[in-house]
Amino acid sequence: RAMSSFDFDSLIRAVADFPKPGVTFRDITPLLADAGGFARCIDALAEPWQGSEVQAVCGIESRGFIFGAALAQKLHAGFVPLRKPGKLPPPLVEVDYALEYGTDRLTARADALRPGERTLIVDDVLATGGTLAAARELVGKLDATLVGASVLIELDALRGRDRWPAGVPLQSLLHY
Ligand code: PRP
Ligand code: MG
């Protein structure tokens, strides 16, 4: 179900029972491989933030890098990778977050964002919201100003949006 006039949905493949039984995996690779579709996707993700004076786009490793880097270019902003543990050299800021089984960690360079820098967080999918919450905490630890977040896909039934502050814009291009 798309909120844009372009049919992004036809370029996202639903794969039943992956990575485990009962889960429907949303495969974005056909969209990425479609030159026009990918371009229009980045246009649509950028559109709500034109005029928001975004200075930095934080993309979440790994699928958030794909959309975040392209969006940074479109918004004439810098790109900051929020990375999994062991990938960036110190000094770092770090946030641990819960997964369905166990925990994970997001890291950023301690000087990755300037205090007050107007920052947008980008990822491919909002599921339970744990990843986006961790990214938001990381942006806060860096004393940057959070403008909002953009995701390509929001999985409504998992209620990830409930973990996002109501006063901060969170934009999803597609809802499943
Ligand atoms: C997936 C997806 C989001 C996150 C959403 O990433 O790309 O980043 O899960 O889940 P949540 O809302 O429940 O936190 P994953 O950690 O599988 O890694 P990847 O991006 O490297 O594929
Ligand atoms: Mg991810």
Q: What is the 3-state secondary structure (H, E, C) of 69-108?
A: HHHHHHCCCEEEEEECCCCCCCCEEEEEEECCCCEEEEEE
**What are the phi and psi torsion angles at 42 (to 5°)?**
-65, -40
Catalytic residue among 13, 47, 63, 109: 63
State if residue 154 touches ligand 1 by the CB under 6 angstroms criterion.
no
Q: Determine whether 136 is an active site residue.
A: no
User: Cα-atom radius of gyration of the chain, to the nearest Å?
Assistant: 16
- Residue 5: its pLDDT value, please? 78
Tens-place pLDDT, residues 13-23: 999 999 999 99
* Ranges of the chain with pLDDT below 70: 1-4
Tens-place pLDDT, residues 40-70: 999 999 999 999 999 999 999 999 999 999 9
| Cα–Cα nearest to 175, from 72, 158, 66 | 158
State if residue 129 touches ligand 1 by the CB under 6 angstroms criterion.
yes
Q: Determine whether 154 is an active site residue.
A: no
| Cα–Cα nearest to 170, from 146, 141, 139, 142 | 146
| Cα–Cα nearest to 132, from 68, 71, 37 | 68
The single-letter DSSP state of residue 143 is: T
| Cα–Cα nearest to 33, from 11, 18, 65 | 11
Domain ranges of the chain: 52-175
CATH of domain 52-175: 3.40.50.2020
- Residue 3: its pLDDT value, please? 52
**Cis before residue 10, ω within 30 degrees of 0?**
no
ipTM above 0.95, yes or no: yes
- Residue 94: its pLDDT value, please? 98
